[in-house]
Structure 1
Amino acid sequence: MGLDCIQFCGSECGEIVQKTFEHPLDLAADEVAVRVTHSGLCGTDLHFLKTDMVLGHEAIGIVHSIGSDVSLVQVGDRVGWGYPNWTCGRCDWCLRGEDNYCPNWKIYGVSDLDQGSLSTMAVRKEQWLFKIPENMSSEDAAPLMCGGSTVWTPLVHHVRPYHRVGIVGIGGLGHLAIQFAAKMGVEVVVFSATVSKRDEALQLGAKEFYVTKDVDDYSTLGTTKQLDRLLICTSAKLNLGLFYPLLSPQAMIIPLTASDGELTVPYFQTIRNGFSITGSVIATRFMQKEALEFAARNGVHVIAEKFPMTLDGVKGAMARLKDGKMRYRAVLSWDY
């Protein structure tokens, strides 16, 4: 006998369906059964609507039971998880502490398709579970398990306190990037197609705000000083060459949203100015832990719309996310 659980899954036709699943009570030695309480939604979830799998990978829940070798968490702990569920621990990337690049990892959408955060229960490997700080709400914590770690990682790796950092787009990623960067002491400059977001961007910590809609020459925006780093936090396809007049020599451009298509930039200007374009993925285990603790310590909060963890709630949240109407993350919960 197992536990009867509810799961919200993708399907071949793209329709979200509700399933009932009997969760086995026997766990592998390194496994943890988590009773899900909250789940964030990420743009990546949209890519798997036509896959027969449990959706969701920004989870917060309570430890229900643990395997015989589990020592990092206990029954009753509040924990979170994100994209990965397992890394090998033996490859060069794992051995040098960059387990987020493990070529053997098991991740959302590729493996463990019967385990996701849009459910009542999920089984996860101990190594990629994270305790949630006591002073952090589950509504804040859920989106930090993927969206938050996506912007945190490049800020820690590539940004110094004396840099001017441009953030393109105020959405699920951008509003978190502004807060993390500002709390780090960085001078934040925001670019948005929507003038209505100016006050909000400044309240979140931005020092400057520029509207790019219908502007063909960004050198006319009137920025006060060149930018050292540029984080692309919008899913809209951009002509990155438009930003080149705003960048300092050896500036770095960091695209962060998962998108299809080709990335093209002006060839000679890239070489002449020493610009670099750097990819970045989610945080390592160490950096994920640090991101949660930094956010809790410095008051980084998620602006989110809340939905019940029901079939109608999941469908409604997905529809708003797909239509680009979410402001700025979605959080679903069983105790809505």
Structure 2
Amino acid sequence: MGLESIQFCGSPCGEIVQKTFVHPELAADEVAVKVTHSGLCGTDLHFATTDMVLGHEAIGIVHSIGSDVSAVKVGDRVGWGYPNWTCGKCEWCLRGEDNYCPNWRIYGLADLEQGGLSSMSVRKEQWLFKIPECMSSEDAAPLMCGGSTVWTPLVNHVKPYHRVGIVGIGGLGHLAIQFAAKMGVEVVVFSATESKRGEALQLGAKEFYLTQNIDDYSALGNTKQIDRLIICTSAKLNLGLFYPILNPQAMIFPLTASDGELTVPYFATVRNGLHISGSVIATRFMQKKALEFAARNGVHVIVERFPMTLDGVQAAMARLRDGKMRYRAVLSWNNNE
């Protein structure tokens, strides 16, 4: 007999609904995970009008395993994020860049009956990650998507001598500051909110610049030019504003999911050899390393806690939608954990 699960799902009208689902028997490569915690991400808002189980930053305890599973065992604490399966055969998988697999099964497009906002979820063994013993589940959950999103450009493109600008202190930005600072680079924060200055410096930033009502960023007083610029704000920005404070061949990484067009000054981009690079979540290898690095270096998530109930999910979604979350929501079946 299959396992029964309580699930919190989107609906066509955008209302969060509670359902009960009976999972089929496990396939050979599948793992049933009893969910304990789930982070909430801006992407969950995008799928709130889809009939699917929400949540893709989940932590839980392995309940049972398929016959071919060998990477985890019953009782292990594991986490998962956006993907649930990659083909392992395409060019990108063979190159170790499985986060770009064109055949992957990802949140919102496949396995709609599986998600983090539930009591039980069935996942493929392939994209499950053991959580370091010294890391709390509250810290681990947002690292499965938000953390891996900022980790990827930092670990792939930042050198210790770089000066890294981080735009926005929120769900992504407060993690990017910590990761970058603990990598030993010089971190510079740009924010439209003066009240976040102290927090940015406490998290590891060396400098903070207020951008509210500023049209000429060359007047910010930035002491040195920026080598890497990480865009963590959900607000649509005119990237050209930053051009006067970027070094030649600087790289810009827009990380938040958004619609619309990205426009930049054409000649200045060419003349200064600037790079604008998209970036998605970490590869499996880098997700594992991100967890290890965060545990070893004390990267902590600033969270607001909610119970894993219908009221709790609705409250968390509303707070996230209103832009009031500081900085990541984590829901748990035992809200005291």
- Do they fold alike, i.e. is TM over 0.5? yes
**Are 2:219 and 1:250 aligned?**
no
**Residue 23 (structure 1) aligns with:** 23
Q: Deviations over 1:27-67 (max 9, x none)?
A: 11100000000000000000001100000000000000000
Q: In 1, Cα distance between the equivalents of 2:199 and 2:240?
A: 27
Letter in 2 for 1:200: E
1:91-240 equivalence runs, <5 A: 91-240=90-239
Cα distance per residue 1:271-293 (max 9 Å; x no partner): 00000100000000000000000
| Count of equivalent residues | 335
1:233-278 per-position Cα deviation (integer Å, ceiling 9, x unaligned): 0000100000000000000000000000000000000000000100
Q: Separation in 1 of the partners of 2:131 and 2:3?
A: 25
Q: Secondary structure at the match of 1:166?
A: strand
CA distance in 1, matches of 2:267, 2:2: 62
Please tell me whether residue 321 in structure 1 is matched to residue 306 in structure 2: no
Whole-angstrom CA distance in 2 between matches of 1:21 and 1:128: 22
Q: CA RMSD in A?
A: 0.5
Aligned residue type for 1:21: F
2-side partners of 1:126 and 1:83: how far apart? 14
The 1-side partners of 2:283 and 2:36 are apart by 24
Please give the secondary structure, in 2, of the residue aligned with 1:172: coil
Tell me, in whole angstroms, the C-alpha distance in 2 between the residues paired with 1:155 and 1:107. Answer: 23
Residue 3 of structure 1 and its aligned partner are, at CA, apart by 2.8
Who is 1:7 aligned against? 7
In structure 2, C-alpha distance between the alignment counterparts of 1:298 and 1:185, rounded to whole Å: 11
Moved over 4 A (4+): none
Tell me the alpha carbon deviations over residues 286-329 of structure 1, each in whole angstroms, 9 at most, x when there is no partner: 00000000000000000000000000000000001011100000
Determine what percentage of the aligned residue pairs are the same residue.
Answer: 86
Question: In the alignment, is residue 287 of structure 1 matched against residue 289 of structure 2?
Answer: no
What's the offset of the Cα at 1:23? 2.5
Q: Structure 2: how far apart are the matches of 1:278 and 1:5?
A: 40
Q: Is 1:306 the equivalent of 2:290?
A: no
Task: Tell me the CA shift for residue 4 of structure 1.
Answer: 2.5
Q: Take 1:159 and 1:64, find their aligned partners in 2: how far apart are those partners?
A: 39
**Matches of 2:185 and 2:208, distance apart in 1:** 15
TM-score by length of 1: 0.99
Letter in 2 for 1:317: A
Deviation at 1:5, TM superposition (A): 1.4
Alignment partner of 1:156: what SS? helix
SS in 2 for 1:210: strand
How many Å separate the matches in 1 of 2:317 and 2:303?
14
Q: Quote the Cα distance in structure 2 between the aligned partners of 1:303 and 1:67.
A: 35
